[in-house]
Structure 1
Amino acid sequence: MSVSQDRSSTTGQPATAQRGRSGAAARLEALVAELFGVELPVGVTAWDGSTAGPEGTPRVVLRRRRALRHVVWTPGELGLARAYVSVDLDVEGDLTEALRRCWALARRLRGSLRFGPGQWRRILATAVRLGAIGPRPAPPEAEARLSGSLHSRRRDRSAISHHYDAGNDLYELLLDPRMAYSCAYFGSEETGLDRAQEDKLDLICRKLGLVEGQRMLDVGCGWGSLILFAAERYRVRVTGVTLSGQQAAFIRERVAQRGLADFVEVRHQDYREVDDAPFDVVASVEMGEHVGEKNYAEYAAKLFSLLKPQGRLVLQQMSRGATAPGGGAFIEHYVAPDMSMVSIGRTLDHLERAGFEVRDVEMMREHYVHTVRPWARTLEERWDEAVGIVGAEEARVWRLYLAGGALAFEENRMGVNQIMSVRPTSEGVSGLPLTSRRALLDHRPER
């Protein structure tokens, strides 16, 4: 993603850049060298026009001293994100490459960020000289502000609304025509995003073994890409549930346009409130991350209870190790508050404890890199439209979110997996063919 000066802000432009041993940028460069014994990973231009760091790399632009105050008051990722979203800090050049270089340095320095009294005095003296000591800057308006008990039904609705009710217009701008907001499935690197999303939807339907007339539930149905596809292609009767009012309204409009009222029902409802089981099959695509680790056993048990014996579940879900299971401070404050990602092993353990027999697990991490980058390109190409829809702060949240997200999948800091499980009968009968994987992938609707 190539990012030059943000078109949403023309204030706070640094003066003509000057290199040398004086100025704010040089002081910061000297501090990094003294504390860590390393060079800056990217170039830096400060508010006084001074520059430092390597040439020919992305450049961090500190437009105001307030950028440093964000970091002084909230050290680390969140302080930097606040400075970026508020346009106190910008990046000229390739934002993804800037993040890649900074993450590489962070990995090198891991475990060495313990400072003694002398180092803290040096940090404080530099901060005073640079004017970084001052009142705490207010967080950007785009930051989530939730209240109530974690993963209570009221708080979950607020958390979902923060991200998914940003406006259907923004998602229509960024996503494919089917409005699939999840990892696509690429047959090759040359496959286009629209085709890859359709292939993902068909793959889920084949793993579910859909047959005309079946009853299907989609837990966390988004903008309806899967339920509309399943109804049109496989002629199943589908119920979708979502906590987003804007998503529900969008799906109902498409159902009416396509004459699918006899096949598709969408509910603005919490999955815990679904009480009309059993269903022949259940899908849940990248919704489990919003459940929370403490509630995941309840989630898995609920999905199990909703299925008929021999009914199949396809669960597509992001995964992460023990570090930053919520995705990191930026994600948790700006994109998906209260989100929780766990390792694939823990997810499978929850499913098995609920009574499921796990029959197929497909890792799709690299597919998400190829999914997110087209969204990021579209955002840059249609930047002014995006700003007009959601405002400058929210557009910058999306720019940072997409660049960082693609990099996290590329570097294996996050993964995504598609899991097919079955609810066996009390006698242990799964109902699956012996050559189950080949049969699943060869399954096609009889129409």
Structure 2
Amino acid sequence: MTAVADTNQHYDLDPDIFGQFLDPLRKYSAARYDAEHDTLESAQRNKLRFVADRLGLRGGERLLDVGCGWGSLILYMASELGCRTTGISPAPRQHGYIAEQAAARGVAELVETKVGHFERLDLPARGFDAVTLLGSIVHMPDPDEVFRRAKTVLRRGGTLYVSESCFRNTATRTAFDDRDGTGFVREDIFGFGELRPLSELIAAAENAGFSITSVDDLTDDYRRTIADWIANVDAAAARIDAHGPGLAAKLRHYLEIANAGWGYTTKHYALVCRNAR
């Protein structure tokens, strides 16, 4: 198994940096643009509704978000649907921010977070109706273990939602996995990240015993999301650089690399699985 740091260096940056270029919910994954005039903020809310729909959430469910980031999903599901939510992240700075936001929104009793890694935390067997991994399995070295673990914590009939950026096929992964741009994103930005073809994620899901219920191609949505992030980085460059000279340029370079490959080397998919038995 590939060794990874206890926390991901990118996500443990000062929360203010992310507030400069993300939407107000600080959702750091693909949005969903339903109309040409959608703003980044409205598109991220569209995406959260999309996730709720794919999971079949109606209200009051127990939801586990693996790699919860700044809490956009768990805060939204608690506030809008009254779900009892648990978020997992190894980045300590994110947990204080989520607790503050939950208190401010009056949903502190519905939102909890755990510091650590999904594969190692003590979680109740069949304790959740839904599990989500939005852009987080890329930072986890063993997808088979992740899907097996997700199945153990889901109730019978529960649903798993995984959205992830993937190499478009195995041949492309072989050709681009050791390129300079790939190495920069993996090592200089994140510390660890492993893009895989969608086929590997589907195989891991099937091997764990899940039934695949849908696959959505969100590549164009992520392309537009990152374009909006880049525009925000440019507008806030001076404030971002206050946290470290050249940080805005480094962040822009990362986002440009991410947006250069869509449809050519990389795709972004939403995979939904049911724990049928």
Q: TM tier, shorter chain?
A: over 0.9
Amino acid at match of 1:191: D
Q: 1:286 aligns with which of 127, 130, 135?
A: 135
CA displacement 1:51-75 (0-9 Å, x = unmatched): xxxxxxxxxxxxxxxxxxxxxxxxx
Q: How does 1:20-59 map to 2 (within 5 A)?
A: none
User: What is residue 419 of structure 1 aligned with on the other side?
Assistant: 271
CA displacement 1:344-366 (0-9 Å, x = unmatched): 11110110000000010001111
Q: 2:204 aligns with which of 350, 371, 377?
A: 350
Q: How does 1:27-426 map to 2 (within 5 A)?
A: 150-151=2-3, 155-158=4-7, 160=8, 162-272=9-119, 273-277=121-125, 278-292=127-141, 295-320=142-167, 321=169, 322=173, 323-325=175-177, 328-389=182-243, 391-409=244-262, 411-425=263-277
Amino acid at match of 1:174: F
**How far apart are 1:227 and its partner, in Å?**
0.4
CA displacement 1:291-349 (0-9 Å, x = unmatched): 12xx1111110011110110011111110142334871111221122211111111101
Counterpart-to-counterpart distance in 1, 2:101 and 2:177: 35
Matched residue SS, 2:246: helix
User: What is residue 83 of structure 1 aligned with on the other side?
Assistant: none
- How many equivalent residue pairs? 268
Matched residue SS, 2:45: helix
Contact 1:150–1:338 (8 Å) recurs in 2: no
CA displacement 1:133-165 (0-9 Å, x = unmatched): xxxxxxxxxxxxxxxx833xxx4324x1x1011
Contact 2:79–2:105 (8 Å) recurs in 1: no
Compared CA separation, residues 325 and 208, structure 1 to 2 (3 A):
farther
Counterpart-to-counterpart distance in 2, 1:404 and 1:341: 14
Amino acid at match of 2:265: R
Amino acid at match of 2:10: H
TM-score (structure 2 length as normaliser): 0.92
CA displacement 1:358-389 (0-9 Å, x = unmatched): 01000111111100011111111121111002
CA displacement 1:368-426 (0-9 Å, x = unmatched): 1100011111111121111002x1233221021112211222x522111111110012x
Contact 1:183–1:367 (8 Å) recurs in 2: yes
Amino acid at match of 1:379: V
Matched residue SS, 2:276: coil
Counterpart-to-counterpart distance in 2, 1:252 and 1:220: 16
Which one has more relative contact order, counting CA pairs under 8 Å at least 6 apart?
2
Contact 1:334–1:397 (8 Å) recurs in 2: no
Counterpart-to-counterpart distance in 2, 1:246 and 1:276: 25
Amino acid at match of 1:382: A
Counterpart-to-counterpart distance in 2, 1:163 and 1:195: 25
User: What is residue 120 of structure 1 aligned with on the other side?
Assistant: none
Structure 1 unaligned residues grouped into runs of 5+? 1-148, 426-447
**How far apart are 1:191 and its partner, in Å?**
1.4
Structure 2 unaligned residues grouped into runs of 5+? none
After alignment, is 323-332 or 359-368 more displaced?
Answer: 323-332
Amino acid at match of 1:309: R
Counterpart-to-counterpart distance in 1, 2:153 and 2:49: 22
Instruction: Please provide the CA RMSD for this pair.
Output: 1.5
Matched residue SS, 1:164: coil
Counterpart-to-counterpart distance in 2, 1:412 and 1:228: 34
**Pair member with larger Rg:** 1
